[in-house]
Structure 1
Amino acid sequence: MAFETFTLFFITTVLVVLAPGAAAVAAASQGASNGALKSIAGAAGIASANVVYFALSATGIAALIVASHTVFSIIKWVGVAYLIYLGLMALLSKSGGLVVKSGKPRTVYSLYLQGFIIEFANPKALLYFAAILPLFIDVDRPLIWQLLIMGGVTLCIDLAIYAAYGLLGDRLTRGTMPGWIIATVNKTAGTALLYAGYKMSRITAS
Structure 2
Amino acid sequence: MNIEIWITYLSATFIYSVIPGSGTINTINNGMVYGFSKSLISIIGLQLGLAFYIILIGMGLGVLVSQSLMAFIVIKWVGVAYLIWLGIQKFQETTTINSTDILVETSEWKLFRKAVFVNLTNPKTVIFFAALLPQFLDATSSHYLQIIQMGATTIIVDTCVMLIYVILAAKLAYYIRSPMVLKRLNRIFGTMFIGCGALLASAKA
Residue 185 of structure 2 is aligned to residue 189 of structure 1: no
The equivalent residue for 2:100 is none
Residue 130 of structure 2 is aligned to residue 130 of structure 1: yes
Verify the 8 A CA contact 1:39 1:163 in the aligned structure 2: no
The equivalent residue for 1:56 is 56
Verify the 8 A CA contact 1:96 1:183 in the aligned structure 2: no
User: TM-score if structure 2 supplies the norm length?
Assistant: 0.90
Write out aligned runs for 1:94-133 (5 A): 94-95=94-95, 105-133=105-133
Verify the 8 A CA contact 1:84 1:197 in the aligned structure 2: yes
Distance (whole Å) between structure 1 residues aligned to residue 112 and residue 183 of structure 2: 25
1:13-62 deviations in whole A, cap 9, x for unaligned? 01111111111010111112211111111111111111110111111101
RMSD of equivalent CA atoms: 1.9
After superposing on structure 2, the runs of 4+ consecutive aligned residues of structure 1 that deviate more than 4 Å are none
Unaligned runs of 5+ in 2: 98-102
Shift of 1:131: 0.8
Verify the 8 A CA contact 1:27 1:42 in the aligned structure 2: yes
Distance (whole Å) between structure 2 residues aligned to residue 67 and residue 147 of structure 1: 20
Verify the 8 A CA contact 2:90 2:186 in the aligned structure 1: yes
The equivalent residue for 2:38 is 38
User: TM-score if structure 1 supplies the norm length?
Assistant: 0.90
The equivalent residue for 1:9 is 9
Distance (whole Å) between structure 2 residues aligned to residue 81 and residue 165 of structure 1: 25
One-letter amino acid of the counterpart of residue 56, structure 1: L
Distance (whole Å) between structure 2 residues aligned to residue 104 and residue 182 of structure 1: 12
Residues paired across the two proteins, number = 200
1:83-142 deviations in whole A, cap 9, x for unaligned? 001111112334369xxxxx9622212111110000110011111111111011111222
Q: Go from structure 1 to structure 2 and tell me whether the alpha carbon gap of 1:123 and 1:174 turns closer, same or farther (over 3 Å shift).
A: same
One-letter amino acid of the counterpart of residue 109, structure 1: W
Unaligned runs of 5+ in 1: 98-102
Residue 26 of structure 2 is aligned to residue 26 of structure 1: yes
Shift of 1:176: 5.1
The equivalent residue for 1:154 is 154
